[in-house]
Structure 1
């Protein structure tokens, strides 16, 4: 286990919840699949539109995908924007939690696309 304060134990892709969803081993309410990303509805939505967008390949967090595959990160952001426009008319919040201390519970990068209502600031 890493002693880095924003890290959690590494998870092998075979044991990763989102890798198993990408592989079709676990069902999900898929919104759209792109060349490098998959979007599906959150099972515990926090807004009228709450969609998770994940890369098809396993990357631990947003920092890791930005370093390893910036094109996949760009596709993730673009898909999130298209979903928000289609489902909520455009305004949206895109959230990446990086580290258990700030709410990351699945260590496969995922953007939360939240839309369809007003949000307050600061979050949390």
Structure 2
């Protein structure tokens, strides 16, 4: 043990490389195995989340539509809105258009604009 030879250093490096490669291989296989085993567990959860997202989008669409229709009705009946209500109306209208709102609301907005009420 007095002297470490170049050959011993080579064996030690080879051992370290093999050890690191083996550990990496085992970790990779473990990751694949865990992913496959949990996939069956998470599939129903993912499907429920997808369904909830669809429901939330529908609720958002309906809430926007209800607000816009109510506000447009008020405007059509010459109910005056303050500046914050008008600003909120335009924010909601813009959001409604982004989420794919129906054309009848857009038609109503355009008609009220032409009539000078909006």
Q: TM-score range by the shorter chain?
A: under 0.3
Output the TM-score relative to the length of structure 1: 0.25
Higher normalized helix content (fraction of residues): 2
Output the TM-score relative to the length of structure 2: 0.26
Higher normalized strand content (fraction of residues): 1
Q: Bigger radius of gyration, 1 or 2? A: 2
